[in-house]
Amino acid sequence: MNDQMIMENILLTTKGVCDLYMHGTIESGTQNVQQAFDSALNDSLCMQSDIYAKMASKGWYPTQQADQQQIDQVRQKYSGQN
């Protein structure tokens, strides 16, 4: 397993943790529990962002710019919905 694969696995795991913490935050029954999940979620989101930035800097997470026409089509599609 190379470094890129390890980083991809870490990123996927971190994203999964973020999802769990988000649901914990939403479903919390008390303010203390909600705050604990919310704090853990924020920490995990920061970690996910750092991992993504490191991968992107190495070219391991390529992105492409959305075409303006595609953006306009999506905007038009959802502009009438409220």
Q: Which two tokens stand for residue 10?
A: 């870490």
- Express each pLDDT in 11-39 by its tens digit: 999 999 999 999 999 999 999 999 999 99
Count other Cβ atoms within 10 Å, centred on residue 18: 18
State the pLDDT at residue 58. 96
Handedness of CA 75, 78, 81, 82 (dihedral sign): negative
- Express each pLDDT in 25-74 by its tens digit: 999 999 999 999 999 999 999 999 999 999 999 999 888 888 999 999 99
Say yes or no to pLDDT of 82 above 70.
Answer: no
37, 25 in Cβ contact below 8 A? yes
Alpha-carbon separation of residue 36 from 26, 50, 53 (angstroms): 12, 21, 26
